[in-house]
Amino acid sequence: MSELVGSFVFFYRGRMLRWVPLILFLLFAVATASRILWHRRATGNSPYVVASGDSPEGYIVKTLRWVMAGLLGALIGHAAGWDGWMGMLPWAQQPATFWLGIILGTGALPWVAVAQAQMGNAWRIGIDHEHATALVHHGLFTISRNPIFLGARFALLGAVLQVPNAVVLATALAAEILIQIQTRLEEAHLSALHGDAYRTYARRVHRWLGRR
């Protein structure tokens, strides 16, 4: 009887853990949506300023949106137990990598939320060419020029470690490339907007993590 109960508990826990990556993804989505609503109420304007037309930054953000939709679909498939259709990577299916992924994912969520809050009214999704935004260099921005994107990168790595299949890996790699390009476009915009103040800041703080 005890062996039967133990087997049931093991099965139940395994099924529940399948939902963790999806829950973390949805928490990120809810946190971002909440921040958008807060910004709209505080300023009367939307922080979503993705350029229309065929601009590079508009293409990147819109493509990233589709990549995230693909990642969401893969996480839903994992939660439903459809991993066999998504090219599992057996060499990465280790308990240690799974729990490392959980740590990265759960740690990235408050990190990103804090960084968004510290940006205040300067926070945007996309590059705002119409309104000048303040140069933020306090809080997490004293150790990273791009803490929000850094948190997103850690969350993506966490998703790959939690759900090691070809679809999640492909979407995470695509998102990584787009984030790297978008980061450089935003830094070029800030350099043009703030001039020497931003360049001095960039010489003091690394793009991703650390101080010089």
H or E element: which one contains 17? Answer: helix 2-17
Q: Are 155 and 105 in contact (CB under 8 A)?
A: yes
9-29: pLDDT as tens digits: 333 346 788 899 999 999 999
SS3 assignment, position 121: helix
Domain-embedded: residue 10: no
* CATH (domain of 154): 1.20.120.1630
Q: Do the domain assignments include residue 12?
A: no
Q: For residue 41, is it within any domain?
A: yes
Per-residue pLDDT, averaged over 89-95, amounts to 78
Q: Tell me, what's the pLDDT at 14?
A: 62
Digit-coded pLDDT (tens) for 196-211: 999 999 999 999 999 8
pTM greater than 0.85 (yes/no): yes
Asked whether residue 74 is assigned to any structural domain, the reply reads yes
In total, how many domains does the chain have? 1
Torsion of CA 172, 174, 180, 186, to 10 degrees: -110
| Rounded Cα gap, residues 17 and 22, in angstroms | 10
Greater pLDDT, 58 or 142:
142
Structural domain that includes position 90 = 19-204
